């Protein structure tokens, strides 16, 4: 996935559009993008939020990746990511 995504705004925009529609794979993909900085600025809070949304929607791999990521984050960062996931979920119920 790495080389293909560098600077590929069309792919990233498509993932956001799919997330807006509640597609759980898009949540996971956005978590991967933000956790690695592929095509977006690396942001662990944002990545954790997307992995959290994916995990809540049944993406098993997201639980593992979220836990791995959490080991690199402070408790305040994790709390903020969880807050942002709740806000997203509240505003995007399908």
Question: For residue 10, what are the CA distances in angstroms to 13, 39, 47, 52, 84?
Answer: 5, 10, 19, 24, 24
2 confidence band (pLDDT: 50, 70, 90): very low
Whole-model pTM: value is 0.89
Range of the domain at 8: 2-91
The count of domains in the chain is 1
12 has a pLDDT exceeding 90: yes
CA torsion through residues 81, 83, 85, 87, sign: negative
Q: Tell me the pLDDT of the chain averaged across its residues.
A: 91
Taking residues 66-90, report their average pLDDT. Answer: 96
36 has a pLDDT exceeding 90: yes
Distance in angstroms between the alpha carbons of the first and the last residue of the chain = 29
């Amino acid at each position: 996935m790495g080389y293909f995504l560098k600077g590929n705004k069309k792919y990233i925009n498509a993932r956001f559009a799919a997330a807006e529609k509640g597609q759980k794979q898009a949540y996971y993909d956005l978590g991967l993008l933000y956790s690695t900085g592929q095509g977006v600025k690396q942001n662990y809070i944002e990545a954790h939020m997307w992995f959290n949304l994916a995990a809540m929607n049944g993406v098993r791999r997201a639980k593992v990746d979220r836990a791995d990521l959490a080991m690199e984050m402070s408790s305040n960062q994790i709390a903020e990511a969880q807050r942002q996931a709740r806000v997203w979920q509240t505003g995007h119920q399908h």
